[in-house]
Chains A and B, each alone.
Chain A
């Protein structure tokens, strides 16, 4: 079965660049691009939702089917 990829939405207006999502992602999907978090490797995402759960700033949404 083909793997369905989620859509990771990062709201830059809310992101304060604290690195929490980047550090606690178990699959190294996110990276810091300048001040904000951004998606580096969406293919590796296992939809564990850790980034959405831990983001203190309501800045990440992992949209799955």
Chain B
């Protein structure tokens, strides 16, 4: 990848991200985050949530893969931050995803001296943002 070919506003990728209850169970196991709100419907409703919701860290972690694949080396990601603004309820259904997120990655800023790019991730559920200011700093070689 040539830094000079990059431009602010450039689209680097987009994808649909399907989430099922099984995905949340897998993420709970892999991450060690067993908070009941991510797998127990009864408990989630008791604490006034719309139902079982995805781990914010699942959404954050899955969304950044577009950037990893684009830059070609996971270690090129220097920093990554976001705010979580809306929960992502994941319905308990058979034969269809429990939620579908749309992820779009664009170049938000370029620093030629440091040879870094800021990639902005747009992550939406039914047109509403679930991550805000999701920004990834990458080193471009």
Asked whether A and B interact, the reply is no
Residue ranges of B at the interface with A (Cβ–Cβ < 8 Å): none
